[in-house]
Structure 1
Amino acid sequence: MPAGDARPRFDAVYFPRLHFPYVTAVIVLGGVLAAVLLGWAAPAHATGGRLVDDYRSVYGTPGVAAAVIDGSAVETITRGRDGDGNAVTARTRFRIGSMSKSMTATAIMLLADRGRVSLDDPVVKVLPDFRMADPRFTRITVRQLLSHTSGLSNDTNNEYVFPPPRSAREIVARLADKTLAADPGTRSEYHNTNYSIAARIVEVVSGKPFGAFLRAELFTPLGMTGTDSTLGCSDGAEGLPAGYEVVLGVAVAAPEMPGMCVGNGGVISTLDDMVRWVRFNQGGLGSGLLSADSLAELHTAQPKAGGYALGWRARPIAAGAEPSVIGHGGTLATWTGDMLFSPATGVAALVLTNSVGDPGLLSANLLAERIKAPATPMTNPLTMVNAILLGLTVVMTALLVTAIVRARRWAARRRAARRPMLVLRLAPLALVIVVGAVLPTPIWGAFDLQYWIVTAWLLPLLALLCLTSCVLGAVALGRRLWCFRRAGQAAPAPVRPAMADD
């Protein structure tokens, strides 16, 4: 049953003098009638709204559009507002992030059904311009791209470069001087570039731009009229509001972080359209679009892929359980979403949100509630992390501002000391600056100034702590040195002892 963010408002009503038994009878009869009407109008399990409300409370999510699909019945739940301040509806547009990979994989499978490409073709056969500075690249197959077993890795191909490449062609061209981190087909590593290469294959084989192919061959036939694709993660699109940054419950509309999203995360869609997409993958819509065998192949875990299929992943319904559902999530800096369905029961769940969070947990709980399985408690670990980061930033600011204000007094004491030990006394401030500069390194595994940009979007309070440490630390260090020098210049010259004959 569709549900919005608005709650019914009951105003006080004055009842004229009525006998109590009559009032009671009216209330009882009204309650029975309401129950009958609600029971007739609402799905039998229309309780997902409580889970969505709990999720928004835990994660501070401004807007959520969710759905539970059970046979021919669809329960939709919409809550909150979009980046323009409008109420979220089933036609509100969201970026769906890596849920787009299921569409790229399907595009490849459409071409395979038509005999234009084979999943086990070497990529160089269908994409002659594909080159890498590693002889093993000639063994990468189309299937390995779609299952993330190609050997491509962020260790050898940094996906967070700024400015990002602007097209699938450019992404492929930039691989010419890159190497692989593993032999193709031997290990799984989730790497977005795999799907950008796949998008380029679609362009070369079909002769159409990737977005145009998706519209003509997938979205239009399936009636997904509100769905489109962009090349970059931050590219604007008609009717697409901004997403949100949420820190400690405070939501701020913010632009999406620039990045390369073609093929791997550039699709924009709506809840209504994504319901159609899931139903297609369940075999209940657009049955003539793709062969049954190809559709099944998309959902089948691939060798050495760690449960990853082709644009989908085998997942458990709860932590520690055996994989029993097929799903895929999508995460950007200001948008997240998730979709999953149970092949055994046919029940599916969808979640689209306009901020960070854990939508996979909400979709799993929505599905679990429908099939009478235990739900997983929802907690937001970033609440504690952000509280600690904010506390550290406040403390660091207070200490460094104090050091700046008292720099003259500090310099006078050092000048007056018999052993100033200047280097040792300044070492703590130098350490603060260095730590601030490299603090994001443990997250990314390497020091790179570009990761500061990523950190600013994904963990803004960590970026604020780093910036505070670097800037105020440098000011405090510089002021202490300046005051120490001035104190030396202002010191009176030593008095020369008088000579005996003066």
Structure 2
Amino acid sequence: MRFLRVISLLALVAVLLGWTAPATATVTVTAAGGRLVDEYRSVFGTPGVAAAVIDGSSVETTVRGRDGDGNAVTARTRFRVASMSKSMTATAIMLLADRGRVSLDDPVVKVLPDFKMADPRFTGITVRQILSHTSGLSISTNNEYVFPPPRGAREVVAGLADKTLATAPGTHAEYHNTNYSIAARIVEVVSGKPFDAFLRTELFTPLGMTDTGSTLGCSDQAEGLTSGYEVVLGVAVAAPEMPGFCVGNGGVISTLDDMVRWLRFNQGTLGTGLLSAASLAELHTAQPNAGGYALGWQVRPVTADASPLLIGHGGTLATWTGDMVFSPRRGVAALVLTNGGGDPSLLSGNLVAERIGSPETPMSNPLTMVNAILLGLTAGMAALLVTVAVRARRWAARRRAARRPRLVLRLVPLALVTVLGVVLPTPIWGEFSFHYWIVTAWLMPLLAIFCLTCSVLGAVALGRRLWCLRRAGQAVSAPVPGGAPS
């Protein structure tokens, strides 16, 4: 049965890729790719993985695991590609540039008159700077994790009217999703089409990416898309995606087959008439002061301090992750799509490294230790606080005659634990905002459970001690029945 499934998969991929790929393209499943995918799934507990290696005219695919409905993953299973969408948004801008509708060095306000900020420097932001994350927009001045999230690119841009820049445009790089929502709005205004419609008609359809589309929100329903998974300590639970605005920056939904086409296009072997060679090369070129970021792509080594360089981009949501890379020098590319958390860049990098003979990077999951510690801390803290609450009456009886300052000092630790549980999720993500409680619940559920344990049980224990102290004080001051003897 396994042999028949492999043969069926090979035939399906061959048919889907054949009409636009070179006639000599072959599709196989390799032992090396399977070994690396299996190792990755073992390390990260990922329920479903679809991976591919492109080497010249050949495409080697590996699919493992299940989707959110429990069905076997195939080359046509739909995944959210998350921030890999940025490469498509940047290409949409470049298509308009090739047609003379916009220039990369145009100020954004020239092509987007409604774009306004409470910072006079915003008028200097160029299209190139938003695509290279050097616009000056920052999480420190623009919270991207607001709930409910904006519903479209127009709303995202309108929400910037009272925001400021963290740095002068063009001087500093900070990866900030809002840049690409601005880019999506530029596409809409310049083309006169909704962003999804432009991608579909001008990019996906010409490349034969018939199973690819996009949504405005990160958690929007889409045809054929099942849920992703939360994976904690090897336990995978199907879960809805965290609400958020994904238009332009992370809303694309695609398949392994279609994303192979996307990589082939960026390698220059598919859809060669869609975009000029110069524009395609510009997309992959690191930009000034951008820290290795290009336009919707990043320049990275195969391994630390190694060459040849790769062009790639990853994507991370709460329940979906992926990565894609290609080597312009070697003609080798790798693609990884998963329906759970993890670090797929490790797998894509190793798939390329294995093919070109470079050392592989050991795969490990640091969250395994972090989650194990959090689980232990949660259990220990819960046991401690429950014990404190249960013994509160005995504690109050022993301290009913103590002076008030000393009592206050004894209650401070419980108060600190309670406050810690409430505020701990907020500074982790950059600023104080209770919206980050929602982010923590999706991205680090055990941390959220630990914080909830501290805040709820801490408040219960503190409240019970105070209540027992009050009752103990009332018992001491109450008159003796019948009066005192004469």
Q: Does 1:373 align with 2:358?
A: yes
1:31-70 correspondence runs (5 A): 43=28, 46-70=31-55
Q: Does 1:423 align with 2:408?
A: yes
The one-letter code matched in structure 1 to 2:75 is A
- In structure 2, which of residues 392, 399, 423 is the aligned counterpart of residue 414 of structure 1? 399
Q: Where do 5+ consecutive residues of structure 2 fail to align?
A: 7-25
The one-letter code matched in structure 1 to 2:73 is V
Q: Distance in 2 between matches of 1:418 and 1:291?
A: 81
Contact 2:228 2:340 in 1 (8 A): yes
Deviations 1:340-361 (A, max 9, x none): 0000010000000001100001
1:135-174 correspondence runs (5 A): 135-174=120-159
Q: Does 1:258 align with 2:243?
A: yes
Distance 1:179 1:228, change over 3 A: same
- In structure 2, which of residues 177, 187, 192 is the aligned counterpart of residue 192 of structure 1? 177
- In structure 2, which of residues 66, 80, 89 is the aligned counterpart of residue 81 of structure 1? 66
Identify the residue that residue 324 of structure 2 maps to in structure 1.
339
Deviations 1:195-218 (A, max 9, x none): 000000000000000000000001
Identify the residue that residue 9 of structure 2 maps to in structure 1.
none
The one-letter code matched in structure 1 to 2:201 is A
The one-letter code matched in structure 2 to 1:358 is D
Deviations 1:95-132 (A, max 9, x none): 00000000000000000010000111111111111111
Q: Distance in 1 between matches of 2:402 and 2:133?
A: 63
Deviations 1:143-179 (A, max 9, x none): 1111111111111111011111100000000111111
Contact 1:130 1:172 in 2 (8 A): yes
1:302-451 correspondence runs (5 A): 302-322=287-307, 324-415=309-400, 417=402, 421-451=406-436
Q: Distance in 2 between matches of 1:483 and 1:237?
A: 55
Identify the residue that residue 201 of structure 2 maps to in structure 1.
216
Identify the residue that residue 128 of structure 1 maps to in structure 2.
113
Deviations 1:456-479 (A, max 9, x none): 100000000000000000011111
Contact 1:333 1:356 in 2 (8 A): yes
Q: Distance in 1 between matches of 2:320 and 2:351?
A: 19
Q: Distance in 2 between matches of 1:96 and 1:472?
A: 39
The one-letter code matched in structure 2 to 1:320 is D
Q: Distance in 2 between matches of 1:4 and 1:176?
A: 58
Deviation at 1:492, TM superposition (A): 6.4
The one-letter code matched in structure 2 to 1:188 is A
Deviation at 1:419, TM superposition (A): 7.4
Deviation at 1:486, TM superposition (A): 1.5
Q: TM-score, normalised by structure 2?
A: 0.92
Distance 1:310 1:225, change over 3 A: same
Helix, strand or coil at the partner of 2:400:
helix
Deviation at 1:422, TM superposition (A): 1.8
Identify the residue that residue 118 of structure 1 maps to in structure 2.
103
Deviation at 1:268, TM superposition (A): 0.2
Helix, strand or coil at the partner of 1:306:
coil
Deviation at 1:440, TM superposition (A): 2.2
Q: Which has the larger radius of gyration?
A: 1
Identify the residue that residue 270 of structure 2 maps to in structure 1.
285
Q: Distance in 2 between matches of 1:186 and 1:262?
A: 26
Q: Distance in 2 between matches of 1:419 and 1:86?
A: 64
Identify the residue that residue 31 of structure 1 maps to in structure 2.
none
The one-letter code matched in structure 2 to 1:117 is V
Deviation at 1:83, TM superposition (A): 0.5
Deviation at 1:320, TM superposition (A): 2.8
Contact 1:314 1:323 in 2 (8 A): no
Identify the residue that residue 105 of structure 1 maps to in structure 2.
90
Q: Does 1:453 align with 2:438?
A: yes
Helix, strand or coil at the partner of 1:410:
helix
Identify the residue that residue 464 of structure 2 maps to in structure 1.
479
Distance 1:42 1:196, change over 3 A: closer
Deviation at 1:489, TM superposition (A): 2.2
Q: Distance in 2 between matches of 1:212 and 1:44?
A: 34
The one-letter code matched in structure 1 to 2:251 is G
Deviations 1:256-312 (A, max 9, x none): 001110000000000000000000000111111011111111101111111111000
Q: Distance in 2 between matches of 1:397 and 1:352?
A: 38
The one-letter code matched in structure 1 to 2:217 is G
Helix, strand or coil at the partner of 1:67:
strand
Identify the residue that residue 181 of structure 1 maps to in structure 2.
166
Q: Distance in 2 between matches of 1:185 and 1:416?
A: 66
Deviation at 1:407, TM superposition (A): 1.1
Contact 1:5 1:79 in 2 (8 A): no
Deviations 1:229-250 (A, max 9, x none): 0000000100000000000000
Identify the residue that residue 224 of structure 2 maps to in structure 1.
239
Helix, strand or coil at the partner of 1:175:
coil
Deviation at 1:42, TM superposition (A): 8.0
Q: Where do 5+ consecutive residues of structure 1 fail to align?
A: 7-40
Contact 2:218 2:245 in 1 (8 A): yes
Deviation at 1:488, TM superposition (A): 2.1
Q: Distance in 1 between matches of 2:285 and 2:264?
A: 17
The one-letter code matched in structure 2 to 1:374 is P
Distance 1:191 1:44, change over 3 A: closer
Q: Distance in 1 between matches of 2:182 and 2:403?
A: 67
Q: Distance in 1 between matches of 2:358 and 2:29?
A: 16
Deviations 1:326-380 (A, max 9, x none): 0000000100000000000100000000011000010000010011110000000
The one-letter code matched in structure 2 to 1:192 is N
- RMSD, aligned CA: 1.9
Q: Distance in 2 between matches of 1:457 and 1:423?
A: 36
Q: TM-score, normalised by structure 1?
A: 0.89
Helix, strand or coil at the partner of 1:218:
helix
The one-letter code matched in structure 1 to 2:87 is S
Q: Distance in 1 between matches of 2:350 and 2:402?
A: 66
Helix, strand or coil at the partner of 2:159:
helix
Deviation at 1:491, TM superposition (A): 3.3
